[in-house]
A and B are shown apart, each in its own frame.
Chain A
Amino acid sequence: METRKIEIPVMADLFARGEKPEYLFWVGCAGAFDDRYKKVVRAFAKILTHLNVSYAVLGKEETCNGDPARRAGNEMLYQMQALQLIEIFRMYEVKKIITICPHCFNIFKNEYPDLGGKYEVINYLQFLNRNIEDGKLSIDQASLNNISVTYHDPCYLGRANDIYEEPRNILKKLTGNLVEMHRNKSYSLCCGAGGAQMFKEAEKGDKEVFMERTEDALKTNAEVIATACPFCMTMLTDGLKYKNKEKEIRNLDIAELIAQSIDL
Chain B
Amino acid sequence: MTKQIIFALTLLITLGVFFYTIRRFISFFKFTRPAFPVKDFGKRINVMLKVAFGQTKIFRRPVIGFFHALVFWGFCVIIFGSIEMVIDGLTGTERVLKFLGPVYNIIMASGDIFGLLVAISIIIFLSRRIFFHIKRFDGIEMNKITHIDANIALSIILLLMLSLLSMNTGYIEYKTITGEAVVGLFPVSTFIAGLITNGHAENYKLIYEASWWTHILLIFLFANLLPYSKHFHVFMSIPNVFLSRLDPLGKLPNMDNITREVKLMLNPDTAFTASGSDAPPERFGVKDAEDASWKNYFDSLACTQCGRCTAVCPANITGKKLSPRKVMMDLRARMKEKGPLMVKNGRDFNDNRSLLRDYISEEELWACTTCNACAKECPININHPTLIVDMRRYLVMEEASAPGEIKALFNNIENNGAPWQYSAEDRMLWAKDLEMNFR
Contact = CB atoms under 8 A, between A and B. Distances in A.
Which of A31, A74, A189, A199 counts the most B-chain CB atoms under 10 A from its CB?
A74
A69 B424 contact: no
B438 A2 contact: yes
A32 B372 contact: no
A254 interface: no
Given A160-B250, A204-B320, A264-B436, A195 B371 contact: yes
B403 A200 contact: yes
Contacts of A199: 405-406, 408-409, 419
Interface string A11-46: 000000000000000010101110000100110011
Interface string B169-181: 0000000000000
B434 A76 contact: no
A64 B413 contact: yes
B42 interface: no
A2 to B, nearest CB: 5
A80 B427 contact: no
Nearest to B361: A203
Contacts of A60: 424-425, 427-428
Interface stretch (A109-117, A172-180, A242-250): A109-117
Interface stretch (A89-97, A144-152, A205-213, A218-226): A205-213
B410 A190 contact: no
Interface string A210-239: 011100000000000000000000000000
Given A4-B436, A10-B428, 14 more contacts: A32-B428, A57-B428, A60-B425, A72-B406, A73-B395, A73-B397, A75-B258, A77-B410, A110-B247, A160-B249, A199-B405, A199-B419, A202-B318, A213-B314
Contact of A72 (B266, B314, B409, B425): B409
B262 interface: yes
A79 B428 CA distance: 25
Interface of B: 60, 247-252, 254-255, 258-259, 261-263, 265-266, 284-285, 312, 314-315, 317-322, 363, 366-373, 375-376, 385, 389, 391-397, 402-403, 405-406, 408-410, 413-414, 417-420, 422, 424-431, 433-439
A159 B312 CA distance: 13
B437 A160 contact: no
B434 A73 contact: no
Contacts of B321: 203-205
Contact of B397 (A71, A74, A186, A200): A74
A167 interface: no
Given A68-B419, A72-B396, A209-B369, A6 B434 contact: yes
B248 A161 contact: yes
A80 B265 contact: yes
Most buried by B among A29, A50, A195: A195
A54 interface: no
Contacts of A32: 418, 422, 426-430
Interface in A153-206: 155-156, 159-162, 186-187, 189-190, 192-206
Contacts of B405: 199-201
Interface range for A? 35 or more
Contact of B369 (A41, A80, A195): A195
Given A45-B431, A201-B405, A76 B436 contact: no
A114 to B, nearest CB: 4
Given A202-B320, A209-B314, A80 B367 contact: no
A235 to B, nearest CB: 10
Enumerate the 6 nearest inter-chain pairs by beta-carbon distance, A residue then B residue, closest first: A160-B250, A73-B392, A206-B319, A63-B417, A195-B370, A190-B371
B436 A111 contact: no
A105 B19 CA distance: 47
Given A33-B422, A111-B252, A159 B373 contact: yes
A194 B370 contact: yes
A105 B422 CA distance: 22
Given A8-B434, A64-B417, A264-B436, A72 B402 contact: yes
Q: In this complex, which of B262, B320, B385, B435 has the most chain A Cβ atoms within 10 angstroms of its Cβ? A: B262
B312 to A, nearest CB: 7
Nearest to A42: B434
A99 to B, nearest CB: 13
A114 B60 CA distance: 32
Contact of A3 (B394, B424, B428, B435): B435
Nearest to B418: A29
A189 B314 contact: yes
Contact of B418 (A57, A64, A74): A64
27 contacts: A3-B435, A5-B434, A5-B435, A33-B427, A46-B436, A49-B436, A57-B431, A62-B417, A73-B391, A73-B396, A75-B255, A79-B258, A110-B247, A155-B369, A156-B250, A160-B250, A161-B248, A189-B373, A199-B419, A200-B366, A202-B320, A203-B321, A205-B319, A205-B320, A207-B318, A209-B317, A264-B437
Given A3-B435, A203-B322, A207-B318, A63 B263 contact: no
A110 B425 contact: no
Contacts of B392: 71-73
Contacts of A211: 318
Given A72-B406, A73-B285, A195-B370, A263 B437 contact: yes
Nearest to B428: A59
B376 A186 contact: yes
A163 to B, nearest CB: 10
A132 interface: no
Contacts of A3: 435-438
Contacts of B318: 192, 202, 205-209, 211-212
Contacts of B418: 29, 32-33, 63-64
Given A29-B420, A64-B413, A79 B371 contact: no
A1 B371 contact: no
B71 to A, nearest CB: 24
Nearest to B420: A33
B315 A205 contact: yes
A218 to B, nearest CB: 16
A81 interface: yes
A120 to B, nearest CB: 16
A129 interface: no
A83 interface: yes
A70 B253 CA distance: 11
Contacts of A50: 436
